Structure 1
């Protein structure tokens, strides 16, 4: 039989080990909770809705009930079965889901716009892979009843122009209730959804159909913006819309030479800014851009595709904001745009998500501290003064 003293010693050692193990579990759990959940609240909590004035010459704030609060994001690029590694999917999709759901909870927008490239492999995914991608998207970007989700098509969703087919366009439209030329009006604000992939200008069947819809919408808007005392026979049978100047939502940016004039922490790197953009690939062609501006005379253009933020002015009066990618896969500092919009005015504000590099640094620091704690607990880490004392003793012995 073991003596009572020996039993007490073993019991004490076991308690110490269990206590140490519990501390390690608490430490690891705290790091995980902070890096995977809390950090999104801490970062997005700092974002505030921009204020918008009541009119062009009004200094009074617009009543909150008449302001449309919109979140605009782009290029989520959900990975598919071909190029998507399971660990990459897990990491980046968790980041986007937590970012999106946290933003919804903290900011409570009226509407969310995603400006294309929702999927990374929509241009070649099989029906089964497409269904799986859609299921994951609907889980990640699920919205409450009070928030509307509107999705615009991008080249990775249906392919570039030479890859685009009626089948791919139709399956995207079926899932997201999107058409290649669509107008939605919310709180008196008109939004035009453009299939920019179909703005090739080569007369293909899908391109002709898309442009025909846009021309019809242009006519409807022009008729709606006419003064009541101005009669036009062509507008007699046209359903009138709010007279608000429209906002264009599309994936490809309007034509610009490069990103040289772009600035801000979400802009492209200095090397990338100098690279010329290719028309119909990086940006819309000059012809397509001029068509859209002539048809709609928009007060704002919102686009994605480049994965970097940019603000440019077209024709000296039409601002365009390119929204950075929402995914860590494309940027170390992803983000989105918050817009307070009325029928006569708008105000935009960028909101950045946690830096991936900072999260990884936190994990590395926590891992190093964990190793030190374990080594110290098992007395495998020699304190500096003990190490020095041993060296002195050995020197004296010699």
Structure 2
């Protein structure tokens, strides 16, 4: 009986340690491998360290199983809090589609949505969070007033730090025909990469893009919406404009097996970007299986049963 009790304690302890590692520690292990990008000049007071995420797509009451909803929210919560602990950003930018069903929600449901988001993505008092409106938050052309009433939308004047440094933040990408020019490892897979964008739905129109870039003359543009990564070089010699546009991959495991986030160091004269990965679900699953196997082996192997 004593040997059986010892083996059972060993087994339960192993299962507990497996859960602890796969649900808590693994986020720190993976996130710690990414660091803030550094400029090749001493840090100045005007430097801003910004965390950028996009497309969290919190489920509402209409779609999705409750277990899937709970799992995805737990993953994003643990990942985000681990990022805040390890990287300590000065500000957080969320590039739209915080919700998955915001456009169909009643005012009460929308308020609950907002409160749930800020609980899951809690930031310290000394860290600011700015959010950009996405189509899944309010729809394409309506309910903007409600969104702003709940302080979800971030208009350009609110982004003083980045707008004065000519960094544009938005949900939709600038005009492009498709993602065919995207060659990053996290770019859309084929044949989705070659699917033609719907003008004003999958990206801004050509006219809106020309107007914005000519007025702002950005040094960099960050957007979401596609759930995939993309780096586009924009150049207009006539307007004397040249900049890179970064599509930020989704932060949710519902949208991709390898969610990403960006660490951006910004100064008035320059900026640098690091794209960072989160644990893959396959990695978490394989790790759990291996640890459970090791636990079973050391708990129930014949040699252990024969010992006192």
Indicate conservation of the 8 Å contact 2:11/2:296, yes or no: no
Give the one of 239, 247, 257 matched to 1:332. Answer: 257
1:182 lines up with 2:167 in the alignment: no
Match of 2:4 in 1: 17
Match of 2:239 in 1: none
Q: Distance in 1 between matches of 2:303 and 2:169?
A: 61
Over 3 Å counting, the alpha-carbon distance change for 1:143 and 1:286 in structure 2 is: same
1:249 lines up with 2:169 in the alignment: yes
Indicate conservation of the 8 Å contact 1:150/1:176, yes or no: no
Match of 1:44 in 2: 31
CA drift at 1:180: 4.6
Give the one of 266, 284, 289 matched to 2:204. Answer: 284
Over 3 Å counting, the alpha-carbon distance change for 1:177 and 1:132 in structure 2 is: closer
Count residues in correspondence: 300
Match of 2:17 in 1: 30
CA drift at 1:298: 1.1
Match of 1:134 in 2: 114
Indicate conservation of the 8 Å contact 1:245/1:297, yes or no: no
Structure 1 unaligned regions, length at least 5:
1-12, 54-60, 192-243, 380-398
TM-score by length of 1: 0.71
Q: Distance in 1 between matches of 2:66 and 2:152?
A: 29
Give the one of 217, 223, 229 matched to 1:297. Answer: 217
TM-score by length of 2: 0.91
> Rg larger in 1 or in 2?
1
CA drift at 1:65: 3.5
| Residues 9-29 of structure 1: CA deviation (Å, up to 9, x unaligned) | xxxx2x222211111111111
1:320 lines up with 2:295 in the alignment: no
Query: Once superposed, what is the RMSD of the aligned Cα atoms?
Result: 2.2
Over 3 Å counting, the alpha-carbon distance change for 1:361 and 1:64 in structure 2 is: farther
Q: Equivalent residue of 1:72, what SS?
A: strand
Q: Equivalent residue of 1:350, what SS?
A: strand
| Residues 5-48 of structure 1: CA deviation (Å, up to 9, x unaligned) | xxxxxxxx2x2222111111111111101111000100111111
Indicate conservation of the 8 Å contact 1:267/1:308, yes or no: yes
Indicate conservation of the 8 Å contact 1:110/1:147, yes or no: yes
Structure 2 unaligned regions, length at least 5:
237-241
Match of 1:263 in 2: 183
| Residues 70-118 of structure 1: CA deviation (Å, up to 9, x unaligned) | 0111000001011031111111111111111111111111100000000
Q: Distance in 2 between matches of 1:251 and 1:125?
A: 20
**Larger RCO, structure (CA 8 Å, separation 6 or more):** 2
Q: Equivalent residue of 1:325, what SS?
A: coil
